[in-house]
Structure 1
Amino acid sequence: MEQKNASRKLIVVVLDGLRYDAARSYLGFMEHLVEQEEVTCYSVKSELPSLSRPLYEVLLTGTPAFVNGITANHVARLSHQQSVFHLAAEAGLKTAAAAYHWVSELYNSAPFNPVRDRHQHDESKPIQHGLFYFEDHYPDSHLFADAEFLRLTYDPHFLYIHSMNIDDAGHKFGGESKEYEGSVRMADAMLATLLPTWIAEGYDVIVTSDHGMSASGQHGGTAMEERMVPLYLTGELLVPSRKGEPIAQLQMASIMCRYLGIDPSVAMKLQGTPPFGLDRTVSRWEMDDEG
């Protein structure tokens, strides 16, 4: 696949379990960037089932569960789809991930072996450089440190950062608890430390989530608190959207590809093409956004 622009670099941060209303209320630094018009925020409606492993596959391949076969959290196998990692590596871009071990099982190696697979450095793999954790309470502070190590050491074009503490707090205490709120605020503090550096060094940044969280600490169903998640975008590539309508999560993989300057897969184009397309930069004044 032809590489269109080798200078483009993208960091995607997935804050697992972060519901839309909690993001808009507690991500104070991210909302500061929205107020300053440095970042645009949208709402995204997750695919069903609103479970973690199926939605990791949705985010990175742009295909729904009935197509990709990752229908539940216990389906532990390599993906049969082309992910953003595959496409970026094929285009000659360098890829890296600091993420939960299910991401490794989808795109690098399954089943996950904690001794063999926690540290992965193999340029023949879709995720060429990876640091993977395997406990939900693995501190987000350590996870972001892992990500910075990968960024500074390997200089990837595509860096995927996936944290789990918000989801973990939600399951333990509920999605409207002080513990859940506190975990969101902690993630915001980490982004406040790192994101200005990333932007200053020329990275585009996406911050989003896979699914939300109910008050009782559950997700997987159709309730809006389980499905509605945020999408924060830096840079000039803005997503056309109609006022009041959430973006479909199936569009996320295509959006990542557009940031990286690579063509989405056929499946991504089929399932997740935005209504207005993403073939050009769209200015803030050509659209109705929610930020």
Structure 2
Amino acid sequence: MQNMKLERILLVTTCFVIASLNINAVSKKSKLLFLLVDGFRWDYFDLPGANLSGFDRLFQYGVRAQWMVPDFPTNSFPNYKSLETGLHVEGHGFVGNYMWDESTGNHFELPMSEQSSFLSSWWDVEEPFYITADRQGIRTGLFNVRGCDIIINGVVPSLCEPFLDNSSTASVSLQLQHALEMLQHDQIDIAYRRYTHITYELHLWKNVYHMNVDTAGHNFGPNSKEVEAAVTEVDAVVSELLDVIESIGDPHISLVLVSDHGMTSVDQTHKINISEAIDIRDVRKILDSGTQTLIWPQPGKTEQVYNRLREFHKNLKVFNRADILDRWFFKKHSLIPPIFVTADKGWYIVHQNKVDESYASLIAKPWHGNHGFDNDDLDMMAIFAAYGPDFKKNVVVKPFSIVNVYQVICHVAGIKPHPHNGTWNAVQDMFVEQELHTEL
């Protein structure tokens, strides 16, 4: 019966799980199950017709935030790293799902199909919590995480099981059960499991029942029945997950559930083709599309390209690097180009000579939903909820930044954190014993 419940957990395809068992780092045995659901908007709990008994149960016996503010840009990889390091984007250096290093000519791209994405220069900038844990003797196992065997500052996780491209539910189930067995038998202390979409192509997602929340939002829009079905599936996972935690009977297990960003509707007629505004011969490199684009003009062409773009479209925001908004914590990094453009909410950018082919279908048929927009917009807000002996019950706390999750992980799992951008004041009200925390 318990195995059937564990298999049920795997039906959501865009989440990652971290289960933490720490014996020696704190005075009491501490366990943490950390679950991230990609693209789960803060108000999906209120979708009409959704009967979310699992989430209701989680909220009743735990704590939740009104919403959680993602980092800008409100895309996956920048916010994965903000969760893992507690740093804003300009601090950890993952400025987008697609990046170009002008000094080396190397590219990073989200599918990580090119070898250049695995170079240490992308990864050694700041240390994720799972590497810090291993460095402190808290053994980590990474399952289905792209690049889990990358050496970061001289350390690799204790265990790295390979990423399963487009894996079946059965194979994922076997892998997670193996991870849980290793935790139970004290072979590892942290099991990190991530579920991410492999591609954005619509034809791969015909089975709505297994569609993840983020992909459903992209392909059908945030107010669609497909999103409601995906959210209901997550709710079933939460319910079964709580059953499993309670059946284990360990009084020191906590659950933290978050998302990386929200989602908003996109009008299919709201296309901004910036190739109509600029001469591509004046551009040395142009990267990414959709909600924002990064542009490196040819020498002596920066002012010309900037002026043409600035006057091109009223729903296109154009920035010289120095003028990028300070509140985004985005511009003070060497990977930010001389010109950065972003679309207003509900619009999308296309252009020629794209490096990232994942957006290729946008010109012919754009998505019905997207993220990446200003992190001041409510539609971009993410979720945070927690349950267990470390957390209060039936409490709603004020919104806080995503960089604060790092210190929650470190506090519950007993990891001594690195310097970060979070503040203890932002999260202390969710804990039962506010005074007993790792100094941050």
Settle same-fold status: TM greater than 0.5. yes
| In the alignment, structure 1 residue 151 sits paired with structure 2 residue 180 | yes
The alpha-carbon distance between structure 1 residues 100 and 24, as it changes in their structure 2 partners (threshold 3 A), is farther
Whole-Å separation in 2 of the counterparts to 1:49 and 1:100: 22
Q: When the two structures are superposed, what TM-score results if normalisation uses the length of structure 1? A: 0.76
* CA distance 1:142–1:190, shift in 2 (3 Å): farther
Report the count of equivalent residues: 257
**Equivalent pair of 1:141/1:190 in contact (CA under 8 Å):** no
Identity of aligned residues (%): 23
- Indicate whether 1:89 and 2:112 are aligned: no
Residue pairs, 1:47-196, within 5 angstroms: 47-74=71-98, 75=108, 76=117, 77-101=122-146, 104=147, 108-109=149-150, 125-126=156-157, 128-130=159-161, 132-135=163-166, 143=172, 146-155=175-184, 156-164=188-196, 165-196=212-243
For residue 281 of structure 1, report the CA deviation from its aligned partner: 4.3
Tell me, in whole angstroms, the C-alpha distance in 1 between the residues paired with 2:140 and 2:412. Answer: 14
Q: Residue type matched to 1:232 in 2?
A: A
Q: Normalising by structure 2, report the TM-score.
A: 0.52
- CA distance, structure 1, for counterparts of residue 233 and residue 75 of structure 2: 23
Does structure 2 retain, via aligned residues, the 8 Å contact 1:29–1:189?
Answer: yes
Cα separation, 1, equivalents of 2:34 and 2:396 = 25
Rate the CA distance shift 1:148–1:30 in 2: closer, same or farther, 3 A: farther
Cα gap change, 1:283 to 1:93, in 2 (>3 Å)? closer
Q: Which residue of the other structure, out of 409, 415, 419, is the alignment partner of 1:262?
A: 415
Distance in 2, Cα, partners of 1:226 & 1:40: 22
Q: Which amino acid aligns with 1:186?
A: E
When residues 18 and 169 of structure 1 are mapped into structure 2, their CA distance, relative to the original with a 3 A threshold, is same
Q: Which has the higher helix share?
A: 1
Superposed displacement of residue 280, structure 1: 10
Corresponding residue for residue 22 of structure 1 = 44
Mapped partners of 1:8, 1:244: distance in 2:
23
Corresponding letter in the other structure for 2:93: G
Alpha-carbon contact 1:11-1:205 (below 8 Å) kept? yes
Cα deviation, 1:55-100, whole Å, max 9, x if unaligned, reads 1100111111111110010234425212110121122222234445
Q: State the AA in 2 paired with 1:157.
A: D
CA deviations on 1:165-213 (whole Å, 9 max, x unpaired) are 2112111111211111111111221222233212443321111101111
Unmatched 5+ stretches in structure 1: 111-123, 285-291
1:272 to 392, 415, 422: 422
Answer with 271-280 or 143-152: which moved more. 271-280
1:54·1:73 contact (CA, 8 Å) conserved in 2? Answer: yes
Q: Is the 8 A contact 1:255 1:278 kept in 2?
A: no
1:44 aligns with 2:68: yes
Tell me the distance in 2 between the aligned counterparts of 1:131 and 1:161: 11
Aligned-residue CA RMSD in angstroms?
3.1
- Which structure has the larger Rg? 2
> Is 1:8 the counterpart of 2:30 in the alignment?
yes
Once residues 142 and 226 of structure 1 are traced to their aligned partners in structure 2, the CA distance between those partners, rounded to angstroms, is 34
| Aligned residues of 1:143 and 1:163 also touching (Cα < 8 A) | no
